[in-house]
Amino acid sequence: MMNRPRQERPVRDRLWVKPGEKAAAVPEKPQHDDERLLKLLQSAKRELQGLRLVHLHLSLLQDKNYGDIIEIKRAVQSIADNSAYLQVFTLSNEDVLILYKGIKFSTITEACQKIEKMMLARTKMTKINPYKEHTLYSIMELSLNFVNVIRFIEGLGDDGGGIDGPKTTTKEPISLEELAKIERQIGMFDLSPFMLNQPIVNLDPAAENLHEYFEIYIAVKNLEDRLSPEFDLTANRWLFNYFTSSLDHAVLKSLNHGVDFIRGHKIGLNLNLSTIISSAFVKFDERLTVDLRGNVILEINKADLVENIDTYHEVIEYASTRGYSICIDGITPMWVAHMDLEFMACHYAKLFWTNELAEMSERDLKTFADKIKAQENCRFILGRCSTVTGLLFAQKHGINLVQGRMVDTILRKGMTVANALKTASSLEND
């Protein structure tokens, strides 16, 4: 048998280590890919269709370990073999970006959750990520976030932090003793500087009112910086839920000083069920005329409803008698498909935009849209719309009310959301 000439193997870009291969020594600090990624994105900006990006916020980890990069590349190895395209980039602020195409959203999410679990078993995050998510990872459509990604990479050289910004130290979770001190302060504290509002906007250009109502909420982190800068109010979920009851009463007390702002505008109040049946709410109610009560929407979190269903029945009877509207806050597609929201006597139901909504099967999406269309007395709101994608999803599936940072941005530019979406739709179809 003739010996075949030995072929030189092409040099491989070692993005991960395959089974049986000897792992290379972990460098003291990995080489940065900022310039390489920037050039790649700029050259590929006309071919972005189908490309997605995973942003791993390793810069937010309290204890850094450059060996994490190797572990991450191992974790994505299995999905990389079945992808149309996948490449990993290490940035100078210690974050990792994964550019990919042709992988199911559920598969990439599972891989990200595995990486997050692996990292957080060793250390913890110093704060929420720059997209206001409590996760170590963010998944996004590159075409819809292209400019922001470019600016992020270009900004790394300015402060070393990109949109993650300067590093912060981890705050201690709030203790019961510290919470008691804050509660005493709240009773004498002017909350008005921390009370913000965000509009729920109607997508229907023929709607009588552009703004359906304004949700009033407390900027908790700003309040935390003022009253308890050394502690994290939200770290202990049980204590934070307990604190929201005190916060509810303080909000009602602030509103009692003047209710004229309700006149001519509908407002939404996020309140616990226990607050609505309390004497504090009765006092607030007594200051309102029948017309003003009709301008108030009581937003009730779905978890509070499930845990206190008997109280919810009391609240809807009281609200019906007094003329208030009800909004169930934070529902999921499962609620849309399987719950009779009209039977639950709510006027609005709010769900939050996530990429998972768009990843539902065609059958589930049809059921979702049909259920929304079938509800005659309950109107749906899609909240947390931070991108145009969420707004387009709402429009396509019959959700006429939207809320979020993208809505705020469009309104600040002097446009209507309906016209902005008309422009976005035409660009998408080009």
| Closest residue by Cα to residue 96 from 128, 126, 60, 54 | 54
Distance of CA 216 to the CA centre of its chain: 18
**How far is the CA of 164 from the CAs of 91, 383, 388, in angstroms?**
12, 23, 22
- Contact indicator for 424, 389 with CB cutoff of 8 Å: no
For the chain (430 residues), the mean pLDDT of every run of 10, in chain order, is: 45 40 48 82 68 89 80 82 84 88 84 89 85 80 73 63 40 84 82 86 85 90 85 81 87 77 84 94 91 94 90 95 96 90 93 89 93 93 92 94 92 86 63
| Closest residue by Cα to residue 187 from 269, 252, 109, 274 | 252
Predicted pLDDT at 45: 61
Predicted pLDDT at 18: 42
Q: Output b/e per residue, 33-70; b: 16+ Cβ within 10 A.
A: bbeebbeebeeeeeebeebbbbbbbbbbbeeeeeebbb
* Domains parsed from the chain with CATH numbers: 34-164 (3.30.70), 172-429 (3.20.20.450)
What number of other Cβ atoms are within 10 A of residue 8's Cβ? 6
Angle, vertex CA 233, rays to CA 229 and CA 236, nearest 5? 140
Distance CA 85, CA 87 (A): 7
Tokens of 320: 């019906």
Predicted pLDDT at 5: 46
Residue 399: burial class (beta carbons within 10 Å; 0-12, 13-18, 19+): buried
Question: φ, ψ for residue 236 (rounded to 5)?
Answer: -100, 105
- Contact indicator for 390, 353 with CB cutoff of 8 Å: yes
Q: What is the CA radius of gyration of the chain?
A: 25
Predicted pLDDT at 165: 38
Predicted pLDDT at 103: 85
Predicted pLDDT at 426: 59
Distance CA 119, CA 66 (A): 12
pTM for the model: 0.62
- Contact indicator for 153, 162 with CB cutoff of 8 Å: yes
Q: Which residues contact 345 (CB under 8 A, 6 or more apart)?
A: 316, 320, 326
